């Protein structure tokens, strides 16, 4: 049985290895994009001030001078040493940009198009492998399934047959006479076992995003009662009680409390 599993393990590694490698590298770059930007891009230097923040309605009006016909998805506030970021996002037609505003003076510091540039390229590779969406998405989805089978088969092959081999499965037990072939096998199997714990978590989260049926199953297993849905609020419509004054008062309250 282990010989058959070993062959399957090798084939699965060849089939999914390159895709998983690309997804892993681009995923790491995407996760650390803010840290990378801090090193590679010019920092917006704003002197800390005791002046009052711009209100939400003021920031909204200023941002709309740049993109008057676009929808604001959200406005991010930090402290007075950081710019206010007005995020524009809509799906049809796709538009995703940010306007950075001086938090007290109201001057526009810069704009950023999130659909172009290095990190847009990275994200496209992570999700679509730089292929047409209909093709790339399917390759990534099913390569994730193959990678799951690869990890499971690897754990099965790693599992010690007897107590004598158990010690060698958890740590290196090399001698001066240990040959390179054995060392290479130990490096793969021992590191592979410890990495597989994290790999299964990455795979599960990837499958949740890729397959609605997995998303639904995990959601229900975690205690969810209703259907799992993802909605982008329609910012073009506001509740009758959601006046500019009430929104600005909410910001003031949040700033006092936090």
- How far is 48 from 227, CA to CA, in rounded Å? 45
| Range 44-120 has CATH code 3.10.450 | yes
- Say if pTM beats, i.e. exceeds, 0.85: no
Domain ranges of the chain: 1-34+126-222, 44-120
**Residue 233: predicted pLDDT:** 63
CB 67 within 8 A of CB 88: yes
- Strand order of the sheet with strand 95-101? 72-76, 84-90, 95-101, 108-113
**Six-digit token pair at 206?**
């990837």
- How far is 103 from 51, CA to CA, in rounded Å? 9
Q: Which residues pair with 99 in a beta bridge?
A: 86, 111
CB 254 within 8 A of CB 55: no
Query: Would you write out the chain's pLDDT as a tens digit for each of its 258 residues?
Result: 777 888 888 888 888 889 999 999 999 999 999 899 889 988 777 877 777 889 999 999 999 999 999 999 999 998 778 899 999 998 888 899 999 999 999 999 999 999 999 999 999 999 999 999 999 999 999 999 999 999 999 988 888 777 766 767 788 777 777 888 888 888 888 888 899 999 999 999 999 999 989 988 888 888 877 776 766 666 555 554 555 567 778 777 777 776
**Residue 237: predicted pLDDT:** 59
């Amino acid at each position: 049985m282990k010989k058959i599993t070993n062959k399957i393990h090798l084939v699965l590694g060849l089939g999914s290895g390159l895709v998983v490698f690309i997804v892993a590298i681009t995923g790491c770059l995407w996760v650390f994009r803010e840290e990378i930007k801090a090193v590679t891009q010019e920092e917006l230097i704003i002197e800390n001030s005791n002046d009052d923040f711009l209100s939400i309605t003021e920031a909204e009006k200023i941002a709309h001078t740049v993109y008057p016909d676009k929808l604001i998805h959200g406005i991010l506030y930090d402290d007075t040493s950081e710019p206010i970021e007005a995020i524009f996002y809509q799906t049809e037609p796709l538009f995703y940009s940010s306007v950075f505003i001086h938090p007290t003076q109201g001057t526009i510091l810069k704009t950023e198009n999130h659909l172009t540039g290095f990190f847009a390229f990275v994200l496209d590779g992570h999700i679509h492998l730089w292929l047409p969406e209909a093709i790339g998405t399917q390759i990534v989805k099913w390569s994730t399934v193959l990678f799951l089978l690869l990890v499971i088969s690897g754990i099965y092959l790693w599992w010690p047959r007897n107590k004598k081999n158990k010690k060698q499965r958890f740590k290196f037990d090399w001698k001066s006479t240990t040959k390179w072939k054995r060392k290479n096998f130990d490096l793969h199997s021992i590191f592979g076992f410890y990495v597989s714990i994290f790999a299964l978590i990455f795979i599960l989260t990837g499958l949740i995003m890729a397959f609605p049926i997995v998303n639904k199953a995990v959601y229900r297993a975690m205690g969810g009662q209703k259907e799992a849905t993802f909605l982008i609020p329609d910012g073009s419509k506001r509740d009758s009680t959601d006046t500019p004054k009430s929104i600005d008062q909410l910001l003031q309250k949040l700033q006092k409390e936090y």
